Amino acid sequence: MRANLPDWASQHVAFGDKLVAEGEGLAARPSLDLRVNTLKSDRPKVLKSLERFGAEATDLSPLGVHIAAGERDSRTPNVQVEESFLKGGFEVQDQGSQIAALLASARPGEQVLDLCAGAGGKTLALAAAMDNKGQIFAHASDRHRLAPIYDRLTRNGVRNVQVRPPSDSLDDLVGKMDRVLLDAPCTGSGTWRRRPDAKWKLTPEQLAMRVTEQRAVLAAGARFVRPGGMLTYITCSILSDENEWQAADFLATHPDFEPVDLAHAMYEVSPALRERVWRLPQGVLLTPARTGTDGFFAFSARRV
Q: Which of 236, 247, 265, 285 is catalytic?
A: 236
Return the bridge partners of 286, or none: 296
Residue 214 reports pLDDT greater than 80: yes
pLDDT interval class at 64 (50, 70, 90) = very high
Q: How far is CA 104 from CA 23, 141, 230, 256, 268, in A?
A: 28, 21, 8, 19, 11
Distance (Å, whole) CA 142 – CA 144: 6
22: left (phi over 0), alpha (psi -120 to 50) or beta: alpha
The mean pLDDT of 119-136, rounded to a whole number, is 98
Confidence (pLDDT) at 1: 54
Paired residues of 179 in beta bridges: 112, 230
Tell me which residue of 302, 248, 276 sits closest to 105, measured CA to CA.
302
> Are 194 and 69 contacting, i.e. CB atoms less than 8 angstroms apart?
no
| C-alpha closest to that of 90 among 57, 134, 130 | 57
| Mode of pairing for the β-strands spanning 161-164 and 135-139 | parallel
Tell me the C-alpha distance between 281 and 87, whole Å: 42
DSSP reduced 3-state for 88: coil
> So what's the pLDDT on residue 69?
87
pLDDT band at residue 248, thresholds of 50, 70 and 90?
A: very high
Domains of the chain by start residue, with CATH: 31-92 (3.30.70.1170), 96-303 (3.40.50.150)
Query: What's the pLDDT tens digit per position in 270-287?
Result: 999 999 999 999 999 999
pLDDT of residue 71: 72
In which region does residue 228 sit, left (phi positive, over 0), alpha (psi from -120 to 50) or beta (all else)? left
Whole-model pTM? 0.96
Burial 38-72 (b: 16+ CB within 10 A, else e): bbbbebeebbebbeebebeebebbebbbbbeeeee
Q: Express the helix, strand and coil content of the chain in percent, nearest 5 each.
A: 40, 20, 40
Identify the sign of the CA torsion 77, 80, 84, 88. Answer: positive
Provide the sign of the torsion angle of the four alpha carbons 148, 30, 40, 266, taken in this order. Answer: negative
Q: What is the pLDDT of residue 2?
A: 57
Output the pLDDT for position 75: 83
Active-site annotation holds for 186: no
The mean pLDDT of the chain is 96
pLDDT (mean) for 79-93: 98
